[in-house]
Amino acid sequence: MAEERIQKILSKAGLGARRKCEALITEGRVTVNGVTVSALGSKADPETEEIAVDGKRVKTVSSNARHIIMFNKPEKCITSASDSRGRPLVMDYFKDYPVRLFPVGRLDFDTEGLLLLTNDGNYAQEITHPKHKVFKTYEAVVAGIPSEETLEKLRVGIMLEDGPTAPAIVRSTGITRDRQRTTRRRDKPLPEVDAAVIHISIREGRKRQVRRMFLAVGHRVIRLRRIAIGKLKLGELKIGKWKVLTEREAELAKQTD
Ligand code: URA
């Protein structure tokens, strides 16, 4: 196998985006066969040489292939790598996967739907960084029926505590009945209320952004599901299941128009 730039090898092994891996090198934390390599642009052969960060051997991916997985995340599981409260982790579903993966962005504990996982830091960056402007589309079931005027406010942008939201694509797809969630497990279930099903596409990825946007216009989100990233749709993939994407499918996630 041919030599490759070390930052690329590290990024493919799941140590983060290319920039972050470059910093690991310049900080002198990377060794190749026990020798510190701190010059950017240095190359190594991931098949035959031992690459380590902070003295810990990096599990390099044996083929040059990048892995991109589409997962239908269930509610009540967390995207972070660990949880002090012992809650189920997304990564529990990938314990036996041969390559070390990491989630592309995050979804809240209570949010279900499309989550990508990859071993390619650059791919992750292209999907998540706001400068690439990839739309993420959510199906939100919200308490009450928002007026057209309210939906227009969300489209144009509203003020949240951390600043104004960028323009969004918002469309009501129907009316239903649903039960608002209680926050404490011991509470009695709340009665059913009229609810609206809204599709909302946003380009930013601020914390609990969709929930906060609806709350700011007076509608609590009852359920939230991500149904698309760019032009990649969740489709019929069952909750808790995943599939490896082809290169073509992976590219769809980057397309916005
Ligand atoms: N917006 C939210 O409020 N939650 C998510 O999980 C994703 C987007």
Residue range(s) occupied by CATH 3.30.70.580 in the chain: 66-133+235-257
Q: Residue 81 corresponds to which tokens in the numbers above?
A: 């790598």
Separate counts of helices (H) and strands (E) for the chain? 6, 17
Residue 227 corresponds to which amino acid? I
CA nearest to 4, candidates 21, 16, 20 = 21
Residue range(s) occupied by CATH 3.30.70.1560 in the chain: 135-229
- Write the class of the CATH domain 66-133+235-257: alpha beta
Check whether 186 has a pLDDT greater than 80.
no
Q: How many CA atoms lie within 13 A of 54 on its CB side?
A: 4
Atom of ligand 1 nearest to the CA of 221: 3
Identify the three-state secondary structure at position 103: strand
- Write the class of the CATH domain 4-57: alpha beta
* DSSP run (H or E) holding 95: none
Q: Residue 61 corresponds to which tokens in the numbers above?
A: 């991916």
Residue 131 is predicted with a pLDDT of 84
Could you read off the pLDDT of 117-146 as tens digits, one per residue? 999 999 999 999 888 889 999 999 999 999
Buried b (16+ CB within 10 A) or exposed e, 53-91: beeeebebbeeeebbbbbbbbbbebbbeeeeeeeeebbb
List ligand 1's pocket residues with C-beta within 6 A: 107-108, 111, 208-211, 224
Residue range(s) occupied by CATH 3.10.290.10 in the chain: 4-57
Could you read off the pLDDT of 58-69 as tens digits, one per residue? 877 655 578 999
**C-beta separation of 175 from 219 below 8 A:** no
How is domain 135-229 classified at the architecture level of CATH?
Answer: 2-Layer Sandwich (3.30)
CA of 76 to the centre of ligand 1 (A): 13
Residue 235 is predicted with a pLDDT of 95
Q: Where are the alpha helices (DSSP H) in the chain?
A: 6-12, 18-26, 121-128, 148-156, 209-216, 247-252
Could you read off the pLDDT of 188-214 as tens digits, one per residue? 778 889 999 999 999 998 999 999 999
Strands 221-229 and 112-118: parallel
Ligand 1 mutation pick, 208, 220, 221, max ligand atoms within 8 A of CB: 208
CA distance 29 to 37: 8
Catalytic residue among 45, 83, 92, 108: 108
Mean pLDDT on 96-101: 82
CA distance 168 to 144: 20
Backbone angles phi, psi at 129, to 5 degrees: -70, 130
pTM (whole model) above 0.95:
no
Atom of ligand 1 nearest to the CA of 213: 3
